Chains A and B, each alone.
Chain A
């Protein structure tokens, strides 16, 4: 629920923390499982999701605010798919260096409800500035949650964290697989709920 009295900063912080799209409602869980093998992959895929989210919200809000026109969902999906195809082509060498299935995670952003949720729920009836802050809060929240999950998976799954070598051998190599994505994402969601409950008490 977003109130007209809420400032841009409040919108940003609400989506970033209290109503984090991934940890609170599970939106974008596919990216959390598929694209958090290491922090580099999480940052790359999360940043593309953030870009798609912000562009969708900005375009939707400008069109509805200035031209009183609501963009149909199919046109948003196709435009996002085209944008992600172009970005994938531009970053092809980078995608080859990232873990397997990264390109699939990038493509899936175009059909994820996460990409269109904020633009449909908020941006269509809001000013461009507020829509941008709202989308940025959601997107940055997603990137932060993905980075947190990826840090644990990378540290325990491969014994490294970015360029740092933490262990001589990976403590739990299975965390580098989808198994680790499921387990660490579940733990992150439970921890988020625990923190929210403690704050509310």
Chain B
């Protein structure tokens, strides 16, 4: 299989941020109650993952080590995040629901976690990094939309109040983890 395609599929399944890596933001439960709410939220997260990962990897692997400033890696990532948030916030002025999902407290942990995971797990090659990040970005979108559709049917008034909200979300994530592993095991 083409290595770039393999990297994309790995990002889509084995490195899917919420489902496979467990990078689940605190806002995830509240924002995935209904598909119409989850779609722009997931789109905002996916939008941030790709450029942040590429720029963050470049800063971490190529720029900061040459300047001897590795210690500033995390603050640099946060500054890049804010830069991208401003950029997308300006560009998406008319797409208010997507813009609302951009702030650090909503999708920051997710995008930063994906970027750090790629920095740690994909050490060489910017193209491989970009393709993996694209896979993760798509994986996040697909997983979140699937989860919100499942939740819409399950997480209703008929369910015990003990399980509503976070327990249902985490239970569904564990089932989707099994599914992602199953699909991932079919890949070469």
- The bracket for how many chain B residues form the interface is 35 or more
Whether A178 and B78, one on each chain, are in contact in the complex, defined by CB atoms closer than 8 angstroms, is no
A114 to B25, CA, bound (A): 11
Check A183/B75 contact, CB under 8 A, given A27-B26, A30-B113, A104-B120: no
Set B71, B116, B163: member contacting A190, Cβ < 8 A: B163
Nearest-CB residue, chain B, relative to A197: B162
Partner of A81, one of B29, B75, B105, B109: B75
Q: Say whether A101 contacts B109, CB under 8 Å.
A: no
**B112 near A182 (CB under 8 angstroms)?**
no
Instruction: Decide yes or no whether A172 CB sits under 8 A from chain B.
Output: no
Check if B22 sits within 8 Å of A181, measured CB to CB.
Answer: yes
Query: When chains A and B are docked, how far (Å) is the Cα of A103 from the Cα of B108?
Result: 16
Contacts of B74 in A (CB 8 A): 81-82, 84-85, 107, 110
Name which residue of chain A comes closest to B173, CB basis.
Answer: A182
Chain A interface bracket (under 10, 10 to 19, 20 to 34, 35 or more): 35 or more
A194 to B161, CA, bound (A): 9
- Contact among B20, B78, B162 for A110, CB-based, below 8 A: B78
A-chain residues with CB within 8 Å of residue B120 when the two chains form the complex: 101, 103-104
Q: Write the A32-50 contact mask toward B (1 if CB under 8 angstroms, else 0).
A: 0110000000000000000
Q: Mark A170-182, 1 if CB is under 8 A from B, else 0.
A: 0000000111011
B154 to chain A, nearest CB (A): 13
Query: How near does chain A come to B32, taking the closest CB pair, in angstroms?
Result: 12
B29 touches A26 (CB 8 A): yes
**Docked pose: A26 CA to B24 CA in angstroms:** 10
Kindly state the separation between the CA atoms of A108 and B165 in the bound complex, as whole angstroms.
Answer: 23
Q: How far is the CB of B165 from chain A (nearest CB, A)?
A: 7
**Residue B122 CB within 8 A of the other chain:** no
Other-chain residue from A104, A107, A186 in contact with B174 (beta carbon distance below 8 A):
A186
Q: Which residue of B lies closest to A186 (CB)?
A: B170
**Which 8 interchain pairs have the tightest Cβ spacing?**
A178-B22, A186-B170, A182-B174, A33-B22, A111-B108, A186-B167, A182-B170, A81-B74
Query: Can you name 20 A-B pairs with beta carbons within 8 Å?
Result: A29-B26, A29-B166, A30-B26, A30-B113, A33-B24, A33-B170, A34-B21, A81-B75, A84-B74, A104-B120, A111-B105, A113-B27, A178-B22, A183-B170, A183-B174, A185-B170, A186-B170, A186-B174, A189-B170, A193-B161
B residues contacting A by CB (< 8 A) are 19-29, 71-75, 78-79, 81-82, 104-105, 108-109, 112-113, 116-117, 120, 161-163, 165-171, 173-174, 177-178
